[in-house]
Amino acid sequence: MKAIELRHLRCLVTIADEGSFGRAAARLGMSQPAVSQLLRRLEDVLGQPLIDRASQPVGLTPVGALVLPAVRRCLLAVDDALGLARRAARGETGRLRIGFSAPSLYNDVPVMIRRFRAASPDVAVEMIAVPSQDQASALLDRRIDLGFGSTPAAEAGLAQILVGEEGMLAALPVWHPLAGAGPLRLVDLAGEDWILPPRGTHARDSLILRCAALGFTPRIAGENGDFTAVLALVRTGAGIALAAARFRDFTGPDLVLRAIEDFQPRLCTYLAWRRDESDPIVERFLATAGKAERNPRDGEA
């Protein structure tokens, strides 16, 4: 059996619409003999005439009238499939899995994601909670497509950019002797229990290095990357902590955030992805991220 091609089907539909081989040829940008040949090939494959050539204007035979609606549906489905493929190639449709750590959502990252959603409404964005220290493996294992976290990516297969930076302050319960006015130095906190950010974060590493330079090691009472949980733990007396400066206005009556005079840690938020990534949706998101305004927040009191 000879193969039927899309051009054969389009030829039938165009002849039926125009009621004339000449007008159909002009619409298709072909010669009239070429149009007749395409139709004849289709009729030979089906074994039945589809066009009544004796009528004026030319019309469909009973078989042609029966076949034409199915042919139209077929061509429409092909056009839809090709359109979907083109949109997918431009990153306009599909799925994007974004890994995030809790601290990464306390800065401008939510705005960046909203902008992408608005620009790409047909992309299904799936938000997946992944701790910063686990995002590298999640990316390399292709469990997520992008990762927002506070741990720099050291793996050779990953790339990243800094998308947010914010000052951090010491979080103390209001009854703490150092919660009041007056300069606060890091050495003043040498005997305190600390609730630290997760391992590998810039804030944690810089704190430990600075404490070592001052001759002491901070006592670790716990680890948590969620500032809401951290501040709640400080309220219970579990220890002191570092918190993003923006929480200064949301501490309540039993908690204070104070700048440390000789230590200004930063909360850094990185966007990481696979270097060999070829998904146009990821490329589209990265283009959006590249246009996002950088608004580092000052942690000075």
Give the CATH number of the domain where residue 17 resides: 1.10.10.10
For residues 158 and 171, membership in a common domain is answered with no
For residues 260 and 123, membership in a common domain is answered with no
For residues 258 and 281, membership in a common domain is answered with no
Q: Give the CATH number of the domain where residue 275 resides.
A: 3.40.190.10
CA distances from 135 to 34, 116, 148 (A): 59, 21, 8
For residues 37 and 120, membership in a common domain is answered with no
For residues 147 and 279, membership in a common domain is answered with yes
Beta carbons within 8 Å of 151's beta carbon, 6+ residues apart: 132, 133, 135, 136, 198, 200, 201, 270
Residue 230's domain comprises 164-267
Specify whether the CB–CB gap between 99 and 126 falls below 8 A.
Answer: no
What pLDDT tens digit does each residue of the chain (301 aa) get? 467 888 888 998 899 888 888 898 999 898 989 988 988 988 888 888 988 888 778 888 889 888 899 999 998 988 878 877 777 777 777 899 999 988 888 778 998 999 999 988 989 999 999 988 899 999 999 999 999 998 888 788 999 999 888 889 999 999 999 988 778 999 999 999 999 988 877 788 889 999 999 999 999 999 887 888 888 999 999 999 998 888 876 667 889 999 999 998 888 899 999 999 888 999 989 987 765 433 333 333 3
Query: Domain for residue 299, yes or no?
Result: no
Query: Domain for residue 18, yes or no?
Result: yes
